[in-house]
Amino acid sequence: MKDLSASYLKAIAEYGSISNAAKGLFISQPYLSKYIQRLEKELGVEVINRQSTPVTLTYAGERYLHYMDDVDDVIQTMLNEIHSISNLKKGRLKIGVSHFLSTYTLHQLLPDFMLRYPGIEIELVEDATETLEALLVQNQIDVCFNSLPITNHDILYEFLYDEYNYIVIPPNHPLSVNCVPEDEFDPAVLDGEKFIVTKPGVGLRRFTNQILAEYQIHPQIILETSNTENALRLANKGVAITIVPQCVIENASEKIEACLYPLKDPAFKSHIVLSYRKGAQLTPATLAFIELAREKFPRS
């Protein structure tokens, strides 16, 4: 991408006159003369010595060419980088993820993406679900791992997978006697019971609140935690009842003695999604990440 002014000045310096330069450039002499005059008016200084034969560049003209050559180099570097970005050889992807999904979901997708696109710089933003949704709407992150429900209408999402959630009843609780997880269990019998719940702003807390409201359970909340596995461990040690997703059960680091009742109502499955801002101009890296998610989780 060469600047015309620079090309024209170089031709004048090479051919020694405006008329010969015009012929060499296949343009008219009047056009070239007016072009140089306009350039000198814009710069406020003469760029050619019209009194000399052959015509030469003034010192200002020489310095103008010097800087325009630098500009051409910068522009070419920019174009090369833009081309690399568009072809996913270079770029940046900012991913929002809760601490829970960072532990149980991110590893299923991110390593494959980094292997496929090694030139893409990854920035992880790990925070509470509500904070991440705000950052997504503010265009501070590109994509975000969420669990439904998402109440903000400015956020769209790709479905990844769903899983059961379990009511965890401590082994020393009366309801654990003769525990048969396959039996029908009415969560409404937990009204007034002691509960461990995740802290406000955590995606699981929203979900838990929905369950409690649906079955008209008025819990005695004795502990709030931001760590879902911690809630499972405490329930397993007899502290109180809690609700955790299937992946936490499956990846538990200790033997589970508690009674586990799955919430079989499809409405109370966890729905994990990859979300992005509605109307956003998604970068090539963002689009590639979403496409890989579709490949990795075919049900999306």
Record: fold of 165-268: D-Maltodextrin-Binding Protein; domain 2 (3.40.190)
- Banded model confidence at residue 1, pLDDT cuts 50, 70, 90: very low
Share of the chain above pLDDT 90, in %: 43
Q: What is the domain partition of the chain in residue ranges? A: 4-86, 91-162+271-296, 165-268
CATH number, domain 91-162+271-296, options 3.40.190.10, 3.90.79.10, 3.40.50.2300, 1.10.510.10 = 3.40.190.10
How many Cβ atoms from other residues are within 10 Å of residue 265's Cβ? 12
pLDDT tens, residue by residue, 111-166: 999 999 998 899 999 998 889 999 999 989 999 998 887 888 999 999 999 988 99
Closest CA to 275 of 216, 211, 203: 203
112 compared with 66, residue with greater pLDDT: 112
Fold of 4-86: Arc Repressor Mutant, subunit A (1.10.10)
* DSSP one-letter string for 15-42: HSSHHHHHHHHTS-HHHHHHHHHHHHHH
Task: Assess whether the region 4-86 and the region 165-268 belong to the same CATH fold.
Answer: no
pLDDT category, 85, cuts 50, 70, 90?
Answer: low
Overall average pLDDT of the 209-215 stretch: 93
Cβ–Cβ under 8 Å, residues 142 and 283: yes
Q: What is the mean pLDDT of residues 210-228?
A: 93
Q: Is 77 a residue whose pLDDT tops 80?
A: no
Task: Determine the average pLDDT of the residues in 257-277.
Answer: 90
Euclidean distance between the first and final Cα of the chain, in Å? 43
Tell me the average pLDDT of the chain.
87
pLDDT digits (tens, 9 = 90+) for 153-205: 999 999 999 988 999 999 999 988 777 766 778 899 999 999 999 998 777 88
